[in-house]
Every structure is written in C-alpha cells, then in structure tokens.
A and B are shown apart, each in its own frame.
Chain A
Amino acid sequence: MNAPLTATPTLEVVNVTKAFGPQPAVDGVSFALAAGEVLALLGPSGSGKSTLLGLIAGLDTPDAGDLRWAGASLRGVPTHRRGFGLMFQDYALFPHKDVAANVGFGLRMQGHKRAAVAAGVAEALALVGLSGFERRDVNTLSGGEQQRVALARALAPRPRLLLLDEPLGALDRALRERLLEELHTILRGLKQTTVYVTHDQEEAFALADRVLILHQGRVAQSGPPAEVYARPASRFVAEFLGLHNLLPARLAVQNLAGGATGLVALTDAGQLPLAAEDVPPGLRGAQAVTVVVRSEGVRLAGPDEPADLEGTMLDKSFRGNRHRVSVRVGQADLVVALEAGQPLPAVGERLRLRLSPHAVTVLPEAAPDA
C-alpha cells in the first residue's frame, strides 16, 4: 500500500517558511509527494497545517523556501493555474448555484462543452453517491450531503493534486465513520494524489500512506502510520497520538538468564525489559529517557508465569472488547487495556501483569518532571 518513495515526485515542499506575526506559522518544512500518494498533515490546531495547505494551494505565498511541481517551481503560478483541487472545511459551496453548477464549475473553467460538463458532473456525483441531486439547492442540503457535493466539486476537474482541509471536521461521529470509509475507497480507486489536513489521528491513519506530524510549524515526525505509531520520535508525538503511561526512566544493561545481557529501563514501576530495536540508536548507559508503556501491550499473567509488573488495581471500567484498568505499580500509576472475557480481580486487589514484546518504547528525551 505504501507508495514507493523512489517514484517521480509530484509536489515538493522545500524548506518552506511563512510567518504572520513574530512567530512563524510554518517553519522550514520540507517533504515530497509521490504520484498517487495520500499524505496526511496531522497536528493540533495552531500547528501550521492549514497554513501549509494554503501555501500549497497558492492562497498565500511562502516567505522563504520553494514549492515545486514535477521539478518546476510554483512561485508566481496563481491559484487558478495550479490545477489543484481544494475542499474547504466549511465547504464554501456557491450559494447562488445548484448542485450541478457547483460541481461543474471547475469543468467549465477548463473550457469543456456543456455535454462534457454534464457528463463530468454526473460521474462525480455518482462517485460520492449523490446521483440525481443535480438540480437541488445547495442551501437545503444536510451537512453530509454538502460535504459530498464539496468533494465532488473538488474531484470533478480531475485535479493533479487534491487538498482536503479537515473535510470531515464539521460532521458528527457516525457520519464521519461512514464518509471516512467512502473517502478511502474513492481516493484509492482514483489513485488520487492527496494532501489531507486533519487534527484527528484516526482519520489520518485510516486514509494516509504517510503521515506528517506538525508541531509549532515544524515537522515533528513523518512516516507510514504504523511506523509512527510504533516508534513515536518524541514526547509530543506520543502524547498527541494518545499514548498513555509516559514514565521517566534510565537505561541499564542487565545480565539475563543464560549468560546473555539485555537492556532494561529503570522506572518508578520497576525494571521494564526492552527489545533492542525499540531503543533509538546512540542511547546507552544511564541516560535519562522517557519510556512509553503501551496500554494494549499488557495482559494478565497466568498463575504459573512470572509477572513483569505487579501492582494494585485502582479502578476498572468496561469498554466493550476491553477493560480499561488503572493500576499502581511501585510509585507509578499505569493505564492498561485488558482483554474482556476473563475474570479480573476486584478493585484494591493485587494484579500480576505480563508485557508483550515491543510493549515498551524508549523516547530519546528526559521527562520534564524527572
């Protein structure tokens, strides 16, 4: 599924900077996009992702750096000549035009004849499941329908790059789930090169070949979703991705049974075993770091198994396929997700836990409160 990064780059963002005040909104960002790739710009509000999108669209010009398409600079190319499509968060449908006129707008701008425009409109509407909506007034559509019209309008002229600015942001959760599925199918089906801006990691992970996490205008981390999730590069990324159990730690080498040596992290919750590939290179010895204990990487230890962690259960709540359990291990409180369908001790009782491989990841930063 990952688009090969050796393919010809389409869009290249080279060291782009843009400031509106003293603080740059986008600060030296670089990345390249392969044909057919879906890239998610992920970050909290104020991280610069929408500004970056505006720069790509040509609605703003960068203060420094360059944007290129297939090697040629986009500097001086006005928005309407870039051949990109943009879907706005609030859709920006033309209130004085009906659905067909909205969707067909870009085709008309390309100089297509009336029949070709109508065919393109029908095709785009079919793609988003709104066939037959041609003559409807856009002001009377529901939020989900407006969203689909906006998507059809952006897709109809076959843009060489599609830009989506929080396209599902204004919708309720159930509708979002459904449209997310559809959007995935549509983008894959069209092999549409896409930049998708969102603050929602679930959306980004579900849609993107690659995510680019922005923090204060800079790239905090980029890579395929699974990789980013497995190896967050910083505390910020780990917290932004919703990972729990960030503990201050020191690394140590320990003799294991059988004469081998292994890395462990010394934390308030005791010694945690580490796999070598979960430790960033260059970190050895007694260095202060932060470790992440993944809540889903923990299970109940069997009666005959040794426990990696042992503590007191503080609280539990049922979450469908999981129990979310708070447990005090040593001086640290951890949140773990235990598979449902097995008997759990009562609150206040002892809990013996085992860590699965790769349950603990090391971040090369000391915890601020350590």
Chain B
Amino acid sequence: MDRRVKLPRRPALGLWLFLLPAAGFLALFYFFPLATIAQVSFARAAGGLAAVLAEVAGSAVVRGIFAFTVWQAALSTLLTLAVGLPGAYLLARYRFRGQGLLRALTAVPFVLPTLVVAAAFNALLGPRGWVNVGLMAAFDLSAPPVTFVNTFGAILLAHVFYNTTIVLRLVGDFWSRLDPRLVAAARALGASPARAFREVTLPLLAPALGAAALLVFIFDFTSFGVILVLGGPRFATLETEIYRQTVYLFNLPVAAVLALIQLLCTLGLSVAYTRLSARVAAPLNLRAARDTRQPLRTPRARLTAGLLVGGLVALLVLPLAALALRSVVRLDAERGQSGPVQTGFTLAFYQELGQNRRNNLFYVPPTAAIGNSLAAASATVALALALGLPAAWAVAAQGSREAKRPDATSAAALALDALLLLPLGTSAVTLGLGFIVALDTPPLDLRASPLLLPLAHTLVALPFVVRSLVPALRSIRPRLRQAAAMLGAGPARVWREIDLPLVGRAVIVAATFAFTLSLGEFGATAIIARPEHPTVPVVIYRLIGLPGALNYGQALALSTILMVVCTVGILAIERLRVGEVGEF
C-alpha cells in the first residue's frame, strides 16, 4: 500500500515560489557583494588588477601569511582528530549514564562566540588566569610562569576546543550506526582488534572521517576571533590580514584580493566536503544506534571510558567553568592599591556593565550592547525563518519526489540546498567586507541601516536553519497522518497533533540556532557594526584591549552572560532535535 499511495501532486510553480526568497536573498547579499569585491579589485587599484595581483603574489609577507594559514589549520585539524576520535569511539560504541548530557555538553563550544572562547582560555591559562594565579600563589612567584596568550599553542588549543564536537558528531554518529557484526566477522576470520580496525572500521569510517576533517579544516582556515585575540599581533592568517588591511590600512584592493584567494580555497574545500558528506549519507547497511551500543562491562572498559570522559570534560568544560568563576572573583589589586591583593567574591564586574564612568559621549555602556545584540538576534531569527521555512519545505518536498521524476524544480531545490552552504565556507570578514563595498549605493545603501547586521547574520544562520528544518519536515511521513486518521483524527486534528508538533520543535531548534549564532557572530560584525551601535562581542573585544582589572572583569562578565545564553540555547536544541544523526 505504501508503494501505491500517491502523494498529491504539488504544483511545480508552488515549489519555485518557495525557493525564490532564499535564492533571491543569496543572490543579493552573498553573490552580489562577493562579485563587487572582485570588481573593486579591478577598478580601485591604481595599476589595475595586474598590479595588485603582482603586489600580492610578489609579497613574501603574503606568502608567509598564506603558508601559516594552511599550516595552523592543518595542525589544528590533526590535533582535533586525535582528540575527537577516541571520544567518537566512546560515544559510538558504549552506553553509559550521562551519555546524553555529555553529548549535549560537547556541542556547547560550537555555538560559543570566538571571543567568549578566547576569554574562557584567558580566564584559565592567561596571565591573570586560574593556573597562573594558583602557581604564583603556591610558589610565591612574581611573574606568571605559564605563557599561553599570544602563543601558537593557544591557537591550536582553542581550535581543538571549538571543533572537537564536529568529529564527535560526524564520525561518532556514523560509527554508532555501523554494524558491529562487521568487526566481529573480521575477528572471526582471524583479524586482531587492531587489524580489524584498520581493515574494516577505518575504511568504512573514511568518508565520515574525511568530511569531518575537511569541515574542521575549513573552520580553522577561516578562523578569526581565536587568531586575533588568543594569537595576538604576532600571528596573521588570511582572515586577520583581510581585517587589518580593511580596518586599519584602508587598503581595500589588497583586502579584496586576499579575500578572493581565501574564497577560492574554501570553495574547493566546500565542494570536496559536499561530495564526501554525500558518501556519508549513502546507504550502507546502517543500524539504529541503540542496537550497536553496549554497556561498559569490564573494569578496563570502565577505566578507559572514565579517562576519555574526564579528558573531554577537562578540555571542553573546564575553560568555561574557569570563565564563569573568574567573572565573579576579584583577584587583582584595585587601581592605586598596593600591598596584599584583596581577593574574594564580587559582582562588581556585572554592576559595572551599566555605568558610564568616563562620561564619554561616544562610550557605549555594555548594557546597551546587550540591547543591540538582542535586537540583531531577534531580527535574524525572523529573517532566517521567513527565508528558511519555505526553502526547507521545498527541499524536503523535493526529497520525497526525487526517485520518481527528477525535474527542473527538484534540481533547483537541490542546488539551493548546496548553495546555502556556501556562506558557511566563506570567511565572515570577507562577507562583512562585501557588505561594505557592495551595499553603499542607492537604492541599496544599507551602510547606516540597522538591517545590515541581521542580513549578515542571516547569511551565516540560514544553512543551519534549513538543515534543522528539512529532516523534521521529511520525518512527517504520510503514514503518520494516515495512522492518526485511522484513530479518528480529522484533517485539522491531524495537522494539530502530527504536523505542528513535529515542525514546531524543528522551528524552535532552527530559531535557537539563528539566535545564538547571531549573538556570537564577530567576524562580519567587527567590520560592519557601526561604532556607536556595537554588539556584545564587539564590546568584549574593545574591553579586552583596554588596560585595567575592571575592564578585563567586565569582558569576563559579558562573556559569561553570552556563554550562559548560548549554552542554554544549545542544550535546548539538543533536547528538541528530531532524529538521531547530527547534521552540520
């Protein structure tokens, strides 16, 4: 019956109309700005494009920056895999108490603003962080013994912190659905555990592993806040160099050429990623995760699991805890105060957020920044849902018809699905730069518009929104509606009991994604936010750059607030998500 029940033919015109808003948005606010960047590179340079290209290509500095960008991304990716794979194994193969919570917690870093992550590591390992303060107190040292901030190690550690969840998700979810009998079969045929892993598990995991590595590499390659704040001025990647050339040197042609180089790299990587993740989705004989996970039986398994869980918690949760704790503790001397440092619990940093101590007309109190951020985030949610819901519906409808008759509409829906991913692979600074150079002429002069931030944030949030909605929309099989009808539910009741709750949850998930991503977005915001209307991340960045314990404390307090909001958001997402396999 299933095979024969025909879905009502949806008019193709309807699908086109549903695709249109998102496609138009992408054309206007992604492709147009990027094209303008390219065009600016030709036009504004004194000696034409050739001169700029020659200048960039001939510059040893740029070559060094490029090499360093690749090098740090590659090393970060390797380290992330080294940390993530054992964790993926743990989550994939074993069943233990607190597994769900651990899984949810590991997702928290992913949505945290880079500046919060930077502040968290600062609070743990920085010159005024817990480790140094503790060591100084214990051994009576006069200077912090651990140098962390402005080191290469800081960049690497932060990248691992950030992206481990990608490996846990992509590899772990796939691994958990691999039939364990395959390994058992290899063992029965005489393979040692290591051999079975190498010959059976590893080749099967390869697509997921490759996809995870590529995605991590893309994020590391275009990483901005981590390099800027934790790496400091000594380290420059393409992304921070684009920012420097734009904001400090006003050298737009060079910035544009750098942005194009970066875009070409990420484009290639994104295409490779899309190919690989299609193979991850390809039908292997996958099984439900609940059938493949086993309890921890032997003491050795328990010990291993304990160590892995402990390691993950130390890496992912400790910095965040350090941040929260540091924001309510006074460790430093007050200004002008000498002698023994007065330490203890304080809410001073939070109280300070609302005050304009300097009576400076251009000073923006942090509470106002919170208002700006919330406004931008709310607008982003509205915009991303308005564009994403129809697009997701079209993509989902396409998926169910795919097998029967591939046509122009379904091809367009598929293409849009892929295109929506592009902004993810494009550096946020480049996007911001594109907005500045492209949206400056009437009728599209948005430079002073309060819509500029939500527009940029929507570009970043849209792929997440669509990807959260599509599986939920697809999960509403006609069978469920039929089952409800058989039990006596009329059409309206079916919609209320089946469609609405399933889509409703996904809408909440999508909205939360858009909200948290907008709250934390820094790369594009740093370029396009107007100085008098900064968002929270921008203010954190400013405060970190200012001297004094009070400013630092305020940065910590603001970061903590942002962290709490994002953590609550991601935990809600984890709770409400429909389906088993996590998607990026």
Contacts and interface: CB of A to CB of B under 8 A. Distances in A.
B578 A105 contact: no
A106 B501 contact: no
Given A88-B479, A95-B475, A59 B1 contact: yes
A100 interface: no
Contact of B578 (A25, A85, A96, A154): A96
A59 to B, nearest CB: 6
A92 interface: yes
B487 A105 contact: yes
Nearest to A50: B1
Nearest to A52: B1
B483 A94 contact: yes
Interface string B85-117: 000000000000000000000000000000000
B440 to A, nearest CB: 47
A140 to B, nearest CB: 6
A359 to B, nearest CB: 39
A54 B5 CA distance: 9
Nearest to A156: B487
Contacts of B475: 95
Interface of A: 20, 25, 50-51, 53-54, 57-60, 78-81, 83-86, 88-90, 92-96, 105-106, 109-110, 140, 153-154, 157, 163, 165
**Chain B interface residue count: which class?**
20 to 34
Contacts of B486: 57, 79-80, 84-86, 154, 163
A100 to B, nearest CB: 14
A86 B483 contact: yes
A25 B497 CA distance: 32
Sorted from nearest, which 6 A-B pairs have the closest CB atoms? A109-B488, A106-B487, A50-B1, A79-B485, A92-B479, A92-B483
B489 interface: yes
Contacts, number: 88
Given A92-B477, A92-B483, 10 more contacts: A50-B1, A59-B5, A59-B482, A80-B486, A86-B482, A93-B483, A94-B480, A94-B497, A109-B493, A140-B290
B505 A83 contact: no
Contacts of A92: 477, 479-480, 482-483
A105 B480 CA distance: 12
Nearest to A20: B4
Contacts of B269: none
Contacts of A106: 487-488
B348 interface: no
B505 A96 contact: yes
22 contacts: A20-B4, A50-B1, A50-B2, A54-B4, A59-B482, A59-B485, A60-B1, A78-B490, A79-B485, A90-B2, A92-B479, A92-B482, A92-B483, A94-B483, A95-B475, A96-B501, A96-B578, A105-B497, A140-B290, A153-B483, A157-B488, A165-B1
Please report whether the interface of chain A is mostly helix, strand, loop or mixed according to DSSP: mixed
Interface centre among A50, A92, A165 (most CB of B within 10 A): A92
Contact of A80 (B4, B5, B480, B488): B488
Contact of A90 (B479, B485, B490): B479
Contacts of B480: 92, 94-95
Nearest to B580: A139
Interface in B326-365: none
A248 B74 CA distance: 76
B186 interface: no
B502 A80 contact: no
B177 to A, nearest CB: 14
A81 B486 CA distance: 8
A192 to B, nearest CB: 15
B498 interface: yes
Interface string B459-488: 000000000000000010101101111111
B498 to A, nearest CB: 7
Contacts of A57: 482, 486
Contacts of A86: 482-483, 486
Contacts of A84: 486
B9 to A, nearest CB: 14
A94 B490 CA distance: 16
A25 B3 CA distance: 12
B299 to A, nearest CB: 27
Contacts of B578: 95-96
Nearest to A89: B2
Contacts of B1: 50-51, 53-54, 59-60, 165
A111 B466 CA distance: 37
